[in-house]
Chain A
Amino acid sequence: MKKITQILLLGFFAIYLSGCGVQSLPKAKNDVEAKLAEITNQYKRRADLIPNLVNTVKGFAAQEKETLTAVVEARAKATASTIDPSKVSAEQLQQFQQAQGQLSQALGRLMVVVERYPDLKSNQNFLDLQAQLEGTENRITIARQRYIESIRNFNDLVTVFPTNITNSLFFNFEKMPQWDVEPGENVKQAPEVKF
């Protein structure tokens, strides 16, 4: 008799553990961290492209010193602001976001200036860099979308029944602040391919 109760109890726990967030809560937290790591990875890729871009533009448009310096400075700030995805505070995240947003703006201004130099615009090296930069901006957008989605998923688990009870019993995770796009940083226009 005692054994039967034990087995029943064990079965009950197995069902309880699999359905109530004991696994899915930490998993969701790991997922959020992984998604944030992907964002930082793509931002780093963008920063790595910039010195080459600046040098190429310099060759054709050396007089645009101000715009170029702005990009170099914004890049320096953006690379200085790093975050550790596993233990990031809302403040750090905002700082990181701000630095990256400023770099986006500086890059946007540079791309406007570039329009005035037809030789630069038809330079193969520049075209290649532009393609890489556009691709990276695109990946950043996707990485951000997936990060936002994973935070939403995590916050649902933390706040919605029944997993919220599991959370308050075992983990005490707090709701995560949602990543929001900086007001000054307009979401980058999609690169146009006309045929």
Chain B
Amino acid sequence: MKYFFAFYLLVGLSVPLSSFAGFTVPPVPNSHVSDQARVLSGSFKRSLNGILSTVKNSRQIELVILTVESLEGLAIEQASIEIVDKWKLGTAAEDNGILLLLAMNDRKLRIEVGQGLEGTLTDVYSNRIIQQTIVPLLKSGNIDQAIYLGAYQILQTADPTYD
């Protein structure tokens, strides 16, 4: 019985401890641009946030940018789905949220698209935006510009009337 209790205590202790290791989804942000890796300039963040909140109100598309330093070994597809599951971007009825996630130290990025927009912002277009627009600009060190043009193309693809 004593051993059983010791074991129980051990299990009870190890559960909260284990949750510290690995990637944890950040709390729901109050801005459309969350720059946890601190790679974007302040004025850029403010203006992009302004644009994205206008888009959310006028076009029913919610695009959120998140930069993190590291995914702590988690695959980026897994991380991005965990984030959108928790943040619940877009409306429940239309599922029209988009997450642009950049993991700086992992050198990985991903566009996670809500099912309501999968028909317009397809895998092919997302991939092209990443490979042809965002990656070259990131490589040359223009992170602000990479995000700006990436966001612009994402919105334009998701809603062709956007300009």
Question: Interface on A for B, CB 8 Å cutoff?
Answer: 127-128, 131-132, 134-136, 138, 141-142, 190-195
Contacts and interface: CB of A to CB of B under 8 A. Distances in A.
Interface stretch (B27-35, B52-60, B120-128): B120-128
Contacts of B130: 193
Contacts of A134: 123
Contacts of B108: 192-195
Contacts of B77: 138, 141, 190-191
Interface string B140-158: 0000000000000000000
Contacts of B127: 127-128, 131
B16 to A, nearest CB: 22
A195 B123 contact: no
A195 B81 contact: no
A127 B78 CA distance: 22
A195 B138 contact: yes
A132 B110 contact: no
A193 B103 CA distance: 11
Contact of B135 (A141, A142, A193): A193
A35 to B, nearest CB: 14
Contacts of A191: 77
Contacts of B109: 193, 195
Given A193-B110, A195-B134, A135 B139 contact: no
A194 B107 contact: yes
Given A190-B75, A190-B76, A190-B77, A195 B139 contact: yes
B interface majority secondary structure: helix
Contacts of B124: 128, 131-132
A91 B131 CA distance: 43
Nearest to B130: A193
Nearest to A194: B107
Given A193-B109, A194-B108, A195-B134, 10 more contacts: A127-B127, A127-B131, A128-B124, A128-B127, A132-B122, A134-B123, A193-B110, A193-B135, A195-B107, A195-B138
Contacts of B75: 190
Nearest to A124: B128
Interface in B43-61: none
29 contacts: A127-B127, A127-B131, A128-B124, A131-B123, A131-B126, A131-B127, A131-B128, A132-B122, A132-B123, A134-B123, A135-B122, A135-B123, A138-B77, A141-B77, A142-B81, A190-B76, A191-B77, A192-B108, A193-B76, A193-B108, A193-B109, A193-B110, A193-B130, A193-B131, A193-B135, A194-B108, A194-B135, A195-B135, A195-B138
Nearest to B75: A190
Nearest to B112: A138
Interface in B63-86: 75-78, 81
A190 B128 CA distance: 18
A128 B123 CA distance: 8
Contacts of A132: 122-124
Contacts of A190: 75-78
Contacts of A193: 76, 108-110, 130-131, 135
B152 to A, nearest CB: 18
A136 B127 CA distance: 13
